[in-house]
């Protein structure tokens, strides 16, 4: 009996040691800590980072696995991490996706706000690239990191330089501040501008910034526009999702752009309450703009025969944008999504006015995004100012 127990303990000990050695050989770690071995350190403990599983192999390569925050979800796998080594070396990296397909091409930060593309290849939905690593951490991400502090800085800068008053709209699921910028006139017409409902969609943010800055510029056209219209800007509606490096959702696992009119989530409900107060005080919502990113440049509009007023406003505006930017293809894609909780549809159905989902491509040249946003704002302002007040329906249901 003693011999049998001794052998059992011996084999149990060997099994445990074997498992420990196996784990050490593959150097596996969870996302909260990244992984570290062989003088290589992958870190995913910073705002906007996303690495769900990380392995450093015996050959000195890094294998990363990306998983969605919850399912079902839009196919938009996000990743961001830093990489450093004790001695300079080139580290091969492979990113595998569970529950999604390759979308965002790898970029590396070469200065505080400067990013450049990494040479890469995609084989069987696995993204491969190499990083020339040193003791100084190199930051790699699917897109440029535009984080909470970037918004705080931009909000304050434009508020200090214009008539946009900066204040707190409310807080997110996890208690992060959601800031709003408001320009008020003596009139009762309101334009609503929102952004960053979906965390990885940073090219939408790159468009929102210059678009709003152009509206607030000290020009004759912008002054006339602001003399007539009130403006609400909420540049970052989903700070939790951005902080967590989510693919699509807020901290509760909801797609905010499927919650308009339902207002189950606190982030969308904050704006819904603000709009209700506008109407209660005699104001009229006359236009809505929602900035996003997708795989191509496209402007999602309401159909020309949809019961919103004035007829043809958005199409006329975007036609003017096309005339101003001959080398850029202004793609208008009309469509409806009744009952799905999309911002554009909510504005159209609730206030019977135009709304648009302004989408910039993931890989669109960053300077072009800026130039198109400026041109879009320059053509939007006269299109709106030329509409007689009585032509906007803006009747809440």
Q: What is the pLDDT of residues 147-159, one digit of tens each?
A: 999 999 999 999 9
Element (H, E) at 214: helix 202-215
The residues near 120 (Cβ < 8 Å, ≥ 6 apart) are 105, 106, 127, 128, 129
Using a pLDDT cut of 90, give the percent of the chain over it. 89
Please give the pLDDT value at position 395. 56
Q: What is the pLDDT of residues 254-292, one digit of tens each?
A: 999 999 999 999 999 999 999 999 999 999 999 999 999
**Residues found in the chain:** 397
* Nearest Cα residue to 210 out of 389, 385, 5, 377: 377
Taking each helix axis from N to C terminus, what angle separates 202-215 and 366-385, rounded to the nearest 10 degrees? 40
Residue 393 reports pLDDT greater than 80 = no
Q: What is the pLDDT of residues 90-144, one digit of tens each?
A: 999 999 999 999 999 999 999 888 999 999 999 999 999 999 999 999 999 999 9
**Collapsed DSSP state (helix, strand, coil) of residue 33:** coil
Is the pTM higher than 0.75?
A: yes
**pLDDT, the chain, mean:** 92
Task: Kindly tell me if the per-residue pLDDT of 5 is higher than 60.
Answer: no
All domains of the chain in start order, with CATH = 2-141 (2.60.40.3120), 148-391 (3.40.630.10)
């Amino acid at each position: 009996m003693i011999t049998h127990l001794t052998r059992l303990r011996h084999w149990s000990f060997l099994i445990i040691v074997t498992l420990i050695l196996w784990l050490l050989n593959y150097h596996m770690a969870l996302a909260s800590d990244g992984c570290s071995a062989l003088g290589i350190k992958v870190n995913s403990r910073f705002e906007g980072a996303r690495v769900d599983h990380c392995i450093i192999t015996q050959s000195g390569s890094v294998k990363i696995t990306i998983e969605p925050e919850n399912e079902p979800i839009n196919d938009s796998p996000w990743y961001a991490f830093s990489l450093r080594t004790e001695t300079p070396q080139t580290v091969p990296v492979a990113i595998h996706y569970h529950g999604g397909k390759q979308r965002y091409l790898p970029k590396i930060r070469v200065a505080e706000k400067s990013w450049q593309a990494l040479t890469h290849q995609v084989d069987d939905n696995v993204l491969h690239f190499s990083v020339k690593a040193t003791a100084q951490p190199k930051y790699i991400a699917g897109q440029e990191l535009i984080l909470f502090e970037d918004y705080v800085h931009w909000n304050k800068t434009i508020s200090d330089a214009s008539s946009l008053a900066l204040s707190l709209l409310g807080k997110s699921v996890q208690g992060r501040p959601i800031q709003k910028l408001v320009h008020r006139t003596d009139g009762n017409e309101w334009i609503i501008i929102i952004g960053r409902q979906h965390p990885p969609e940073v090219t939408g943010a790159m468009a929102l910034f210059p678009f709003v800055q152009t509206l607030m510029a000290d020009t004759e056209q912008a002054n006339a526009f602001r003399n007539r219209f009130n403006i609400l800007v909420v540049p970052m509606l989903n700070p939790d999702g951005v902080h967590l490096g989510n693919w699509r959702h807020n901290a509760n696992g909801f797609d905010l752009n499927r919650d308009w009119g339902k207002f189950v989530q606190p982030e969308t409900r904050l704006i819904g309450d603000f709009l209700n107060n506008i109407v209660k005080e005699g104001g009229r919502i006359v236009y809505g703009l929602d900035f996003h990113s997708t795989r191509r440049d496209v402007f999602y509009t309401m159909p020309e025969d949809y019961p919103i007023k004035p007829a043809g406003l958005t199409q006329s505006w975007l036609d003017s944008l096309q005339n101003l930017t001959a080398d850029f293809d202004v793609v208008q894609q009309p469509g409806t999504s009744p009952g799905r909780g999309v911002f554009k549809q909510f504005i159209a159905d609730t206030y019977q006015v135009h709304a648009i989902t302004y989408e910039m491509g993931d890989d669109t040249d960053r300077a072009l995004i800026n130039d198109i946003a400026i041109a879009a704002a320059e053509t939007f302002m006269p299109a709106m100012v030329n509409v007689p007040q009585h032509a906007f329906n803006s009747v809440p249901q």
